[in-house]
Structure 1
Amino acid sequence: MTAGFPVRRHRIAHALQCVALASTLAFSAAASAEDAVVRDARGRDVTIGHPTRIVSIGGAVTEILYALGADDRIVAVDTTSLYPPKAMADKPNVGYMRQLSAEGVLGLNPQLVLAIAGSGPKETIDVIDAAKIPLIMVPDTFTEAGMVEKIRLVAKVAGVEAHGECLANAVAGDLAALRELRAKVKTPPRVMFVMSFLDGRTMVAGQKTAANEIIKLAGGVNVADSFDGYKIMSDEAIAAAKPDTVLSMERGKDTLQADTVFASPAFALTPAAKTRNLVAMDGLYLLGFGPRTAAAARDLAVKLDPALTADAASFKPASLAVNCRQ
């Protein structure tokens, strides 16, 4: 037995004890109301009542709850919940979605934990399950249909299904307009998404990633198409891929700079270096696959292909203007 095991066991026991009463109250409240059954990303049927204390994990989940007018029920968010900005400013923070503490979550006496798929770690999820607090993992599918279904699921859980249809219809309309814009692309730009660039090691996005799908939605082609997920790519492979544009996330003072990227042997001879074409966008906006994703894809499309500027100007995403809170 490792020395760390007794400590973990103690923490688990303490977490369960500190929420025993809250769990009982939440169960009683749910049992006295009209129950709803939701199938989540784990393939489980989760029974919920009318939760008024929700811990929201995942930027897209929090964004949807706010868009549906259910933000008054949120008792805490995670560090990826950056939009709207007041979510991070007004709500307690339970930490990064993949490094959650059971005590931090359960100590808030939630009636529901609504978390994007991939949240964890597993030990924390197991403790929350054992505490009998309803936990719903929201599917994080990087498709047009996945975005709409994500909205409908969150709306059902929050008991505001009419609001959810309002937002889902707005997003579906935006995606239809985006398809029309994408159809005007004559030569799909070749794009490489760089997740990290440090000490000569470049991590890029392959297939089955949010980055890959947003590139496609914007009318581009991901040149790192020989693998799935995020991987370190050699200088030779990067040069051979010949990206027209390097795409990355904004990270404040740590945002990638064109001078740094295009001075490296990996990128110096690429078409992107000749035009110094590096695009950095807000991470949640670009990769969150929430209500604003069609708008993000429109903005990216113009950055990848300026010839689309006039057509994109007439595309006014409804998701940015519609009021589905009432």
Structure 2
Amino acid sequence: MTLAKATTRLLLTSLISAAGLASQASADRLVSIDGSLTEIIYALGAEADLVGVDTTSIYPEAATNLPDVGYMRALSAEGILSLAPDRVITTADAGPADALSQLQAAGIKIDILDNTPSLAGLISKIQSTAAVLGRREAGDDLAAQVEDEVEQAQRAIAEQLGSLNVMFVMDGGSRGFQVAGRDTLADGVLNVAGFTNVFEAIQGYKPLTPEAAINANPDVILMFHSQKNLEELATNPALSLTRAVQNGRLYNVDDLDLLSFGPRLGTALQGLLERMTDHT
């Protein structure tokens, strides 16, 4: 064997070994706790590493076939440990803290990613997830695609709807309506869409009274998680006297995935635009 051939073989052997080590390094047994992260993992092509997800992980449908470790804010360390994961990837919304501490004490790697509800926050979340999985290039590609889709939707919304004052309402059933203020996913999506949240002065979700709704007098009301049809909702005293209802601009958005802040954000915004322009 010539020196050149021997050198080439040695180089190839080194490259194959390095590739094998890189593959092993990225093949952690992974539990994803946050539906948006689960969706990102699938979009990055890393779903084979998943051994469990939380109850918010409902897309893609294949994720619902994985073992369920429970609701992200009420986790049990025992349930997660039973899946023998190497790593848990989640956001700051997960808890309780004691459960996460138990996992760390058991030697489980935990990556807690930022979940700021903005386009920049989503791009950062995609890239951070990709870094954890050793798929930075795929993360950059996905981030660029998502950013382009969201910006296209933003331009279309600005051109076709313009500036609107919007109220986002969660129907709590017997607990009544809750309106979304700042530091909520709903407020984040309104900002990304280019709308003004009429209740941005409050923090979190607060009960909605007829007086507050009339004073806010939104151009548009987006209703989430209601079992009632729009005609019935429009007669509710907390909504009926608003400009939005009187102009027929009350919309149910349960099916648009607006609050997931995952890779389909651009699609969700486009769906919202289509729903609103169908009724204008």
> Shared fold (TM-score greater than 0.5)?
yes
Matched, 1:59 2:35: yes
Pick closer, same or farther for the CA change 1:282–1:266 going to 2, 3 Å: closer
CA distance in 1, matches of 2:279, 2:168: 21
State the partner residue of 1:94.
69
Matched, 1:149 2:132: no
State the partner residue of 2:259.
287
CA distance in 2, matches of 1:273, 1:177: 29
**Does structure 1 conserve the Cα–Cα contact (< 8 Å) formed by 2:35 and 2:260?**
yes
In the TM superposition, 1:118-267 aligns within 5 A as 118-185=93-160, 187-199=162-174, 201-249=176-224, 251=225, 255-267=227-239
Structure 2 spans left out of the alignment, 5+ residues: 1-20
Shift of 1:158: 1.1
CA distance in 2, matches of 1:283, 1:64: 19
Task: Render the CA deviation track for 1:229-285: whole Å, top value 9, x for unaligned.
Answer: 111122200121112322133x5xx53422332222111111222244332234682
**Does structure 1 conserve the Cα–Cα contact (< 8 Å) formed by 2:36 and 2:262?**
yes
**Does structure 1 conserve the Cα–Cα contact (< 8 Å) formed by 2:73 and 2:94?**
yes
Pick closer, same or farther for the CA change 1:109–1:193 going to 2, 3 Å: same
Bigger Rg, structure 1 or 2: 2
**Does structure 1 conserve the Cα–Cα contact (< 8 Å) formed by 2:183 and 2:203?**
yes
Between 121-130 and 267-276, report the one with greater CA deviation: 267-276
Aligned letter for 2:37? Answer: V
Aligned letter for 2:250? Answer: L
Structure 1 spans left out of the alignment, 5+ residues: 1-32, 35-47, 309-326
Task: Give the total of aligned pairs.
Answer: 261
Shift of 1:131: 1.1
**Partner SS state of residue 172, structure 1:** helix
CA distance in 2, matches of 1:256, 1:206: 23
Task: Render the CA deviation track for 1:48-89: whole Å, top value 9, x for unaligned.
Answer: 94343100110100000001111011001111001101110x
**Does structure 2 conserve the Cα–Cα contact (< 8 Å) formed by 1:115 and 1:136?**
yes
**Partner SS state of residue 132, structure 1:** coil
Calculate the TM-score normalised by the size of structure 2.
Answer: 0.85
Pick closer, same or farther for the CA change 1:211–1:119 going to 2, 3 Å: same
**Does structure 2 conserve the Cα–Cα contact (< 8 Å) formed by 1:155 and 1:163?**
yes
Task: Render the CA deviation track for 1:3-47: whole Å, top value 9, x for unaligned.
Answer: xxxxxxxxxxxxxxxxxxxxxxxxxxxxxx67xxxxxxxxxxxxx
Output the aligned Cα RMSD.
2.5
Aligned letter for 1:133? Answer: I
**Does structure 2 conserve the Cα–Cα contact (< 8 Å) formed by 1:189 and 1:304?**
no
CA distance in 2, matches of 1:248, 1:273: 12
**Does structure 1 conserve the Cα–Cα contact (< 8 Å) formed by 2:180 and 2:186?**
yes
Shift of 1:305: 4.4
Shift of 1:292: 0.8
State the partner residue of 1:105.
80
Shift of 1:194: 1.0
Calculate the TM-score normalised by the size of structure 1.
Answer: 0.73
**Does structure 2 conserve the Cα–Cα contact (< 8 Å) formed by 1:192 and 1:245?**
yes
Shift of 1:126: 1.3
State the partner residue of 2:13.
none
Shift of 1:179: 3.5
Aligned letter for 2:49? Answer: R
**Does structure 2 conserve the Cα–Cα contact (< 8 Å) formed by 1:210 and 1:287?**
yes
Aligned letter for 2:155? Answer: E
CA distance in 2, matches of 1:115, 1:85: 19
CA distance in 2, matches of 1:186, 1:55: 41
Task: Render the CA deviation track for 1:140-174: whole Å, top value 9, x for unaligned.
Answer: 01111111111111111111112111111101212
Among residues 76, 79, 97, which one is paired with 2:55 in the alignment? 79
State the partner residue of 1:3.
none
